Chain A
Amino acid sequence: MGQVGEFKEGDTILKLEDIHMSFGKVAALSGVNLEVKKGEIHSIIGPNGAGKTVMMNCINGLYRPQKGNIYYKGERVNSLSPHKRAAMGIGRTFQKLELYGGMTVLDNIRMGSHIHLKSGIVSGSIYIGKAKKEELAERKFIEEEIIDLLEIESIRDHVAHMLPYGLQKRVELGRALALRPELILLDEPMAGLNLEEVEDMARFILDINEEKRWRTTCILVEHDMGVVMDISNNVLVLNFGNVIADGPPEEISSNPEVVKAYLGAEDLYITRR
């Protein structure tokens, strides 16, 4: 995956420079800068409509910003399409589930790693030699690294849209992981989950961030402040398309501007705990 040299922990893996994005006359992002270091969890918070999801879409290529530069591992990726960025190692999950509803959990996850399969239609369909080897390795990876990690053994053969919401969220994370991303964009992974599911999900995010096997850099868009403050290395605060703060969680929670813009007079830890 690492096309542009070897990246070490702490190097800048993603850089957004002065990103402008507007829809008609509505400016969704106006001059946003972001620098994400390899190995960190960088959260993006902000009120509804602040431009968080737009930012995600710009990073993975669903939107092309009108102005500004996006560098991934030092390479300018502005003009690359989403699937090319995916091949470079950018995975994502969606705020609203985007699973293949009629397919099984296993098939959904396999779909995520399809991009890495090298064998062609013919050798794949007769299942010999290299194709067989590749498929077995793939199976091992999915079973041992993803299904075991996310604890979804009992549902691997269930049809995705029949599952409870919390499990679907997990499956979506699984599919994103099957891409073997170096950078993963998590768009509100906790939204709509109950307390126990939130705890599980937070643990999974920490696992993929810290476990040696993964060491995946995470960009996390989330409303659950408790989770954000607990697990992030850095937090970026957006308000109406402008960055009003960017720094470690302790700094953010004491920043008067953030409190005013986003959190109002209430305690920053408005969480479910």
Chain B
Amino acid sequence: MSGANVEITEDLTIPQLFYSQCKRYGSGKVAMREKEFGIWIPYTWQDYLDNVKYLCLGMVSLGLKRGDKVAMIGDNRPEGIWAEMAAMCAGAIPVWLFQDCMMEEVKYIIDHSDSRFFVGETQEEVDKALAIKPECPKLEYVLWDDPKGMRRYHQEFLMSIKKVQELGRELDRKEPDLFEKMINEGNGQDVCLLFYTSGTTSLPKGALLTHWNMLSMGQSLMAIDPCYDTDDFVSYLPFAWIGEQMMSISCGLQVGYTLNFPEEPETAQQNIREIGPHVMFAAPRLYEGLTRQVQVKYLDSTWTKRKAYEIATKIGYHVAEMMFEKKPVPFHWKILKYFAYLIMQKKLKDHLGMSRLRHCYTGGAAMGPDHFRFFHALGVNLKQIYGQTEIAGISVVHRDGDIKFDTVGTPLPGTEIKISEDGEILSKSPSVFKGYYKNDKATEETLKDGWLHSGDTGFIDDDGHLVVFDRSKDVMILSDDRPFAPQYLESRLKFSPYIQDAWVIGDKRPYVTAVMCIDYSVVGKWADEHKINYTSYPELSQNPAVYDLVRKQIEEANRDLPEPARIRKFLNLFKAFDADDDELTRTSKLRRGFMADRYSDIIEKLYEDTDAVHLDMTITYEDGRTQRIKTDLRIMEVGQ
């Protein structure tokens, strides 16, 4: 069964769609699987319906009303989706929080969203809720699903999901029609999700999305890249990221494919391999990680394997290049391609869990052409997408066979894209959100005559592809007054397995510099092989040999760049960038403004005639503890 097997109308709500899909598939088809205790445990659509129904009724009997907000946090797991769907069925509005949110953010979002219910996973989330409850008077109930560590919690407002479902069963016996009645009451134009954007600059803003927003978005994507109800999808990226909602809810529900939940976040990669998904959507960071992993394994393997890899990638790159240029692939190259598949790609794709992959998407931040080529050379159909929370996920995507790695593709059906006079990307589609919650000012700035103002600059090229330049404020002006996107350079640097992160500086400066974060495990291994002793990340990062190594990577990236864009000086930071220190957003984008403040000392020294900088600062752990760091960092020049 292909793409949209259900008619999506403006009036249809997600719960109505959910209900009809459950009725249609019943207990004959698996709706989701979770790996637990070492085995994949299936849940049929009937199980899905029952769990959602009783949880929904249970929350209703605790007093949940239409329009209430329900905050949710936790790893990807069936209970998370059940809770979200249950809230929607009752006409309430789910609010997802990132699993690793700091206490302050949790408090802000719970309070700002007026949440009455909080659904956490286990003790950790419950503790967060308990800590903020005194300051969030609107919060009434805290629910959890994993009993681990909960034996000493007896507060009345704390309840397990199982117990709530018991209450739901009771209510169902009294009012058997209530659940269906609540579902039928909904309308497609109602708000179904309150989604807090990660915000590279300011406090999170809550975007209000309707059922029609979500479903029309899914429908458009499925129209170009159809999925089938026999497909598998692995849900492991945070539910608080719109991309995951789009795949699990907007598309998943329409198509009816099976959602698979990994055992633990750490086992995700292994679990993906076990499932072999047909479709995948992840942020560039994941693909960068995979690339690094392959490159490191390559360095590690035997001579024959390395040779096989080299030959196969050479063929792969050549064929990918022909396909990018839309040239026909000659017959003998097709044979060679199959040969490459046989000797290497088949195996490698299996290891990466990509054997069955039809489409995979990357979005949320820029990804460099090197990574892009790498995957296409492997025969993986990786496509760039562009979108934002405010448009319920995505609006622009590459089409099969029409991939240009410096663009993000062409608009989805039903989506209009135009560029404003000052270069800002504007979009209009049925998926454009209703506005920000309790923030009319921001709504007015973002939404003008139905056009969504993205804050990104870009242009549309001759083939009708959208090119996203960068966040407008992130564009650097080089010494020769040329505008330049630092992300382009950063993603080039990150193609090296030794570099985990890079931050390129150079806006209105005489030359370009970079702050580098080494990849601890890869460089650590390299150091072991070169008999370099180290005890910690800070020590390893400051090792002169490691500096030489990083310098070589930079020289590589500098190659074929115009003179003013080349990196002249760099230093290795004593730690990797971290969202807990506010250096990255929760979706792993660099927060440049913040970094420029935080590391102002470093920037200053990079443009002085000195070879070291003294740093004295505080870093934050996830549980809120802080530690003061005093250290000296070396600055190194890069040969031109």
Contacts and interface: CB of A to CB of B under 8 A. Distances in A.
Interface of A: 139-140, 143-144, 147-149, 151, 153-154, 156, 203, 207, 210-212
Nearest to A196: B621
A177 to B, nearest CB: 15
Interface in B89-108: none
9 contacts: A144-B37, A147-B38, A149-B148, A153-B38, A154-B266, A156-B38, A207-B148, A210-B151, A211-B151
B301 interface: no
Given A207-B149, A211-B151, A148 B37 contact: yes
Contacts, number: 30
Contacts of B148: 148-149, 207
A97 to B, nearest CB: 20
B127 to A, nearest CB: 12
Given A148-B148, A153-B263, A210-B152, 9 more contacts: A139-B38, A140-B37, A143-B38, A143-B39, A144-B37, A147-B37, A153-B38, A153-B266, A207-B148
A40 B271 CA distance: 39
Nearest to B35: A153
B155 interface: no
A59 to B, nearest CB: 28
Nearest to A149: B148
Nearest to B264: A153
Contacts of B270: 154
A146 B380 CA distance: 39
Contacts of B264: 151, 153-154
A154 B267 contact: yes
Interface string B246-270: 0000000000000000011011001
B521 to A, nearest CB: 11
Interface in B237-294: 263-264, 266-267, 270
A13 to B, nearest CB: 22
Interface string B596-629: 0000000000000000000000000000000000
Nearest to A211: B151
A247 B264 CA distance: 41
A1 to B, nearest CB: 23
Chain A to chain B: the 3 pairs with minimum beta-carbon distance, closest first: A154-B266, A143-B37, A154-B267
Contacts of B151: 210-212
Nearest to A203: B149
A140 B151 CA distance: 22
Contacts of B149: 203, 207
A203 B152 CA distance: 13
Interface string B151-194: 11000000000000000000000000000000000000000000
Contacts of B39: 143
Nearest to B147: A211
A118 to B, nearest CB: 23
Contacts of A203: 149
Contacts of A144: 37
A142 to B, nearest CB: 9
Contacts of A151: 264
A203 B151 CA distance: 13
A266 to B, nearest CB: 23
B296 to A, nearest CB: 16
A147 B152 CA distance: 22
Contacts of A153: 38, 263-264, 266-267
Interface string B38-58: 110000000000000000000
A139 B267 CA distance: 19
Contacts of B266: 153-154
A156 B266 CA distance: 12
Nearest to B123: A203
A202 B324 CA distance: 56
A203 B149 CA distance: 9
A140 B270 CA distance: 21
Contacts of A147: 37-38
B270 to A, nearest CB: 8
A147 B267 CA distance: 13
A153 B269 CA distance: 13
A144 to B, nearest CB: 5
Contacts of A207: 148-149
Contacts of A143: 37-39
B15 to A, nearest CB: 33
Contacts of A139: 38
Nearest to A210: B151
Nearest to B152: A210
Nearest to A106: B38
- Which one of B37, B39, B263, B266 has the greatest number of beta carbons of chain A within 10 Å? B37
- Which one of B38, B263, B267, B270 has the greatest number of beta carbons of chain A within 10 Å? B38
